[in-house]
Structure 1
């Protein structure tokens, strides 16, 4: 294992990451919203809004936030660099895209003769370059290395393009050493198996969204395969996801089954959102509100440290 992780300010020793909020977003913009007549994105206000949330996270004991939105939903590498410098919070940015319905037209346009969806190797090349050469700042430059590669599968199950994305993400993880994150569509285990079929080690894969109500049985199955279980809507109170009490029960069940070292917790919080409502939870929600629920269910301080520090560190550290 390498001892460093790609952050927007360069390599950082994995042991210096501290508590990691692994599945969050900093600036979240629905593609095209930046051009809407009724939406104003004031860069100074955006900076101050997100910086205040990062400082609160750091004050609560946080060390690192992973912006897991991928390439085209507001990712702003220069902004993230400045936020990291101003707040002292490490920021890891991600490459990747998906699901198919959220891809821009270029990535849906058949590029072959006869026409077929983008093949996995094209996505792997696109994402891999963002790790090895730097993330693209449109029409200007490459800047900083992505430390995470991610995709989301269509809710009803993978389309042909989604499958190419899953395989492209897996190949990127193999070629570059960064971890792969997949947010499952209809069947978490089936989507994970597509990734594993490419040869990526299960311990380099995070399956997100496993606190969805329709993920019954999937967290245990994913952990048994050796992948990480993403319970990533901590603090949310919507019908599609478990309540925090139910989430805590799930984590306790996984720990009792010997899978504490495969649990990743986060809140899918947004720092600033445009074109959609966003998820205005504090980045420190896991630390301040959820950890006490785990301790009330018998998890030790060591168990909690494993989940909030050791697991994300081990996942992010390049192989």
Structure 2
């Protein structure tokens, strides 16, 4: 009998895929964004509740053992101007989770967020979250893990993972995974150049094209345009992918493909999902690239979460 998970702020279902790969069953998912729902439906059999979590009553949700939530992080990240719980409608969505777990009493709660959650508002935000969990009988472990060190994914992506158990003994037995060697390279994540559409390539018509040509030299490094200058990511890693890749322009990492006339291009949406460790057969539906880039940037690194899910399974 597989343990049952309910997924909140499910996005395109990255956390769900990781837990399924580790042998859990997803019995319910909730996501408001209609484009993310479309991608979720293309890849999951699970019913997805497309309402705002504020409208979801605990009685609407089938019983489950594990709550999964990559709750909205804009309110807690530098990108969201550090508003935290004052950011009505985003920061306070954590309390919708609290309302549900108080009633449903899952054995385990798994939360994922930006690493700034720990330091936000001088640590007060995270203290409030921890207190809410402990007051409701949960025992907590948390750690910041980088995808490049724990997921064999060449992306510099640090996230905080919070694992909460009702059973104190289970919490004491639970260990976050150990670091693993990074053997995957940028090249492993890139598509065959011959299949890449011209629309991903930059031309002389691109503003500051000359500056890009001057700075962006090879395909073994990923670069970012930083409004005034080009930044190279030296460590053979992809820079942290962000939701604002979907806002167009040069927010998507760039590289220089040798041997073509216009050689500078941006990563494709598929490559961005590769850099999040999604399976090769993950379907990208026929929606705008802007939506797909945003979904990839908002998503999670699947192999890191799979390894945490395996550790949870071990102690249960």
TM-score range normalised by the length of the shorter chain: 0.3 to 0.5
By relative contact order (CA 8 Å, sep 6+), the higher-ranking structure is 1
What's the TM-score once normalised by structure 1's chain length?
Answer: 0.37
Pair member with larger Rg? 2
